Structure formats: structure tokens, C-alpha cells
Amino acid sequence: MVKIKIVSSQNTMEKEKNKYFKYNLGVDQKAFYFDEGAEMFCKSISMDGLNKGIKFDSDTFNFIEKFLEKDKDVSLVSLGCGSGIREKILLNIAEEKGYDIKFYGVDSSFQMIEKAQENLNEMKTSCELIYADFSEENFFKELNSTIDKKSQKVFAFLGATLGNVPQNYIADKLNNMVNSDDILIIEVRGTEKLDDLASNKYFKKYLFNITDEDEINFLYAPLQKLGIDIDKGKLMLNMNREDAIKDLVFKFGFKVNQNMKFKLNNEKITLLEGDYIKLFEIRVYELKALKKFFEIRNFKCLGFQMLNEDLLQIAFKKL
């Protein structure tokens, strides 16, 4: 059975989620994949999606393979591995090609880690799962003590989750986590040119998230978990551009239209008409600006590929 290493506690994660809401009047992004959110996400992956994933991840492994050192064992670290479905496809391809890879999957949702354990249990590849928020200070120590120091380390940030969190924060975390000569693979929603035409296209695309029943239920799940009456507000979508990284940010929120009171960990919480609860963020990047954003943090771009019309993968080497 695939081993799970527990760095964070579920109780601590739950407390942090509630604290985040009280301080920021928002839902911490990772909380969308706790509890029911993990079930919803996994159910949303259709067989058609899996078949497409096999094609995508064949291309993904071919891309990663360009940067592997043939004479070294490889430690592949997936940051935000989720249910491990894509990683399973990648590892199967690696096995077929004769690579000796040790896999480490990291996620802050214990429900996702359990699903990854189920999905990876039959793998011949050495797999270890780490239940942790990799922004925690002790995560670096635990990771360094776990990974084979002689192996080539490849950090993969797949699933476009890079675009869901504050950008300077995540880029600086990666800068501190990844050592010299390590490889970083990031996957984002992006394009080579982000003009007004592209902006309009993406805005129409993400309007779907507040009109489709399954997407609405996904956005509402953490609010209901907190005890918020979703009938006393409505979902909103706003778009703006971040000047530093030149990306588009699509911000989903819940606008309260009736006063409400509820309890959170036995504390009384009051929301007033007009209050705005921050929910989910999605980012779309322009290739040139994203490369510059990482290069200033001593990451050298090794190459990129477009998986489809708006899914971009970039490989960096830490200098």
C-alpha cells in the first residue's frame, strides 16, 4: 500500500480555514477540495476527460523527458497532486519507457490524499504521499529529509492550480523550495498573446462557472460548510488584470443581499447586506510575462509547449 506521511493535521487545517474566513471574509482556495469538494471534483472527471488526459499526459511526459538526466534516478514531486489520476498516467508512461522514478505527491486535502492512495496503490513505481500545506515552514524540512538527495529532483505544479493563489506568494515559496539545478514544471491557463479578443473569450468561458449547476454547487459547498445561507446572496464574477505579471484574474465571489447571522466554532458571525465574500480565483497568463516573472527569481526557462488552445506548460531550471 502507498504510504501517507502526515505533516499537517486535519484539525489544524480546519481551524486555519475558519480563521482565514474570519480575517479575510473569504474562502481559502484549498478549502474547495476538502470534504464534499473532493468528491465533487473527482466525480467531475468523466471517462472522456480521462481519455483526453491520456493524450495530454503523453505529451506532458514527452515534454518533461527532454529535461531528465539519463544517468540519474528521478524524484518527481507533484505539488497539489489531488486524486493522483494524472500522475498515475505519467508514471505508467515513465514505467513503459524504463525510467526509475520515485514519486512524491503533496496535497493539503486529506480526502484527496486518500483518493490518490487508492489510485496509486497498484503502481510498481515507488510512491509516497505527503499530507501537508507546502506553505508551512516545517514542510521544507520534511521534504528534504524524505527525498533522495542524489536523485534529480523535478517539481511539477500541474492542473493550473498555480493560478488560484496570490502570485508573489507562490512564486517566492517555489523559489525557496526549489534548489539549484532542480527542474520546475508549471502548467497554467495561458496563451502566447493575451489581447482584448482573448480577454473577452475567457470572460465568456468562465461565466459558465456561475450558470452551470455542478460548478455552482462546487462554489457553494465551502460556504454551506461554514454555515452560510446561500439563498441570501448570489454568485458574482469580476475580471481584472494584474500589472506586475500581466495576467488576467477572474474572481468569483458571493454578494450578500440579506443580513444574516450564524455560528462558526461557537463564535457569532454577522454578515450584512452588501458584504462580499471572496471565493475562487482563476488566472490566465501571457507566456512572455510569466517567463519574466519566474526568471527574476533565478529560474531559467528551458522550454514550453501548448497542450491545447489555452493550456500552457513551461519548464524551468533553478540557477
Mean pLDDT, rounded, for 29-51: 75
- Per-residue confidence band for 51, with pLDDT thresholds at 50, 70 and 90: low
Bridge partner list, 284: 189, 248
5 burial (CB, 10 Å; 0-12 / 13-18 / 19+) is middle
C-beta separation of 22 from 227 below 8 A? no
**Model's pTM, two decimal places?**
0.93
- Alpha-helical (H) ranges within 47-155 are 47-65, 85-96, 110-120, 137-146
Q: Collect all residues with Cβ–Cβ distance below 8 Å to 8 and sequence separation of at least 6.
A: 108, 131, 132, 133, 136
Q: What distance in Å separates the CA atoms of residue 235 and residue 254, rounded to the nearest whole number?
A: 5
Q: What distance in Å separates the CA atoms of residue 74 and residue 104, rounded to the nearest whole number?
A: 11
Interstrand relation of 3-6 and 126-131 (parallel, antiparallel or unpaired): parallel
Residue-wise pLDDT for 79-126, tens only, equals: 999 999 889 999 999 999 989 899 999 999 999 999 999 999 988 889
DSSP-derived secondary structure for 197-233? HHHHHHHHHHHGGGTSHHHHHHHHHHHHHHT--GGGE
Residue-wise pLDDT for 258-305, tens only, equals: 999 999 988 999 999 999 999 999 999 999 999 999 999 999 999 999
C-beta separation of 157 from 79 below 8 A? yes
Helix axes 85-96, 110-120, angle to 10 degrees: 30
Q: How many helices (H) and strands (E) does the chain have?
A: 10, 13
The CATH number fitting domain 3-193+286-318, selected from 3.40.190.170, 3.30.70.120, 3.30.499.10, 3.40.50.150: 3.40.50.150
Judged by DSSP in three states, 30 sits in helix
Domain boundaries, the chain: 3-193+286-318, 196-284
